[in-house]
Amino acid sequence: MKRWRTDGKAGRCLVAAALALLFLGGSPHGVRAEPTAPDAPTFSRAALDRIGDYVRNEVATGKIPGAVLLIQQHGKPVCLESFGVRDPATGQPMTPDTIFQIYSMSKAVTSVAAMMLVDDGKLALDDPVSKYIRAFADAKVGVDLSDEAGQYPLKLEPLKRPITIRDLLRHTSGITYGFFGETAVQKLYANPQLYAGDFDNAEFADRIATLPLADQPATRWNYSHSTDVLGRVVEMASGQTLFQFEKQRLFDPLGMSETAYYVADQVKWPRIAQPFPIDRLRVAGIKEPTVARRWESGGAGLVSTAGDYARFLQMLLNGGKLDGKRYLKPETVALMTSDQIGPETRIIHDPFYFPGPTSGFGLGFAVRTSPPPNTTWPLGEYRWDGAGGSFYFVDPKDDMLVVFMVQAPTQGGRIQLALKTIMYEALGKGLRKD
Residue 299 has pLDDT above 50, yes or no: yes
Looking at the fold, whether 74 and 153 belong to one and the same domain comes out as no
> pLDDT-based confidence at 243, cuts 50/70/90?
very high
Looking at the fold, whether 387 and 271 belong to one and the same domain comes out as yes
Average pLDDT on 358-369 reads 97
Residue 23 has pLDDT above 90, yes or no: no
Looking at the fold, whether 60 and 150 belong to one and the same domain comes out as no
Looking at the fold, whether 400 and 265 belong to one and the same domain comes out as yes
Looking at the fold, whether 93 and 222 belong to one and the same domain comes out as no
Looking at the fold, whether 170 and 260 belong to one and the same domain comes out as no
User: pLDDT tens digit string along 322-362?
Assistant: 999 999 999 999 999 999 999 999 999 998 889 999 999 99
Segment among 177-186, 249-258, 313-322 with least mean pLDDT: 177-186
Spatial CA neighbour of 136 closest among 214, 193, 211, 218 = 211
Give the pLDDT confidence score for residue 151 in this predicted structure. Answer: 66
Residue 433 lies in a domain: no
Among 181, 204, 238, which residue terminates a domain?
Answer: 238
Looking at the fold, whether 184 and 320 belong to one and the same domain comes out as no
Q: Is the dihedral of CA 207, 210, 211, 216 positive or negative?
A: positive
Residue 37 has pLDDT above 70, yes or no: no
Q: What is the DSSP letter of 194?
A: G
Range of the domain at 356: 9-104+253-426
Looking at the fold, whether 348 and 229 belong to one and the same domain comes out as no
Residue 48 lies in a domain: yes
Residue 17 has pLDDT above 60, yes or no: no
More confident residue, 420 or 9: 420
Average pLDDT on 174-189 reads 91
Rounded percentage of the chain residues whose pLDDT exceeds 90? 79
Among 238, 269, 301, which residue terminates a domain?
Answer: 238
- 101, with CB counted inside 10 A (0-12, 13-18, 19+), is buried
Residue 248 lies in a domain: no
Looking at the fold, whether 231 and 287 belong to one and the same domain comes out as no
Total number of domains constituting the chain: 2
Residue 388 has pLDDT above 70, yes or no: yes
CA–CA separation, 134 and 162 (whole Å): 12
Looking at the fold, whether 319 and 399 belong to one and the same domain comes out as yes
Among 209, 238, 267, which residue terminates a domain?
Answer: 238
Cβ-proximal residues to 312 (8 Å cutoff; 6+ apart), any chain: 108, 109, 112, 250, 254, 256, 259
Residue 434 has pLDDT above 90, yes or no: no
Cβ-proximal residues to 60 (8 Å cutoff; 6+ apart), any chain: none
State the chain's mean pLDDT as an integer: 90
User: pLDDT tens digit string along 254-292?
Assistant: 999 999 999 999 999 999 999 999 888 777 788 899 999
Q: What is the CATH number of the domain that holds 138?
A: 3.40.710.10
Residue 1 has pLDDT above 50, yes or no: no
Residue 244 lies in a domain: no
Residue 211 has pLDDT above 50, yes or no: yes
User: pLDDT tens digit string along 135-162?
Assistant: 999 999 999 876 666 566 789 999 999 9
Looking at the fold, whether 215 and 93 belong to one and the same domain comes out as no
Looking at the fold, whether 392 and 306 belong to one and the same domain comes out as yes
Residue 294 lies in a domain: yes
Residue 3 lies in a domain: no
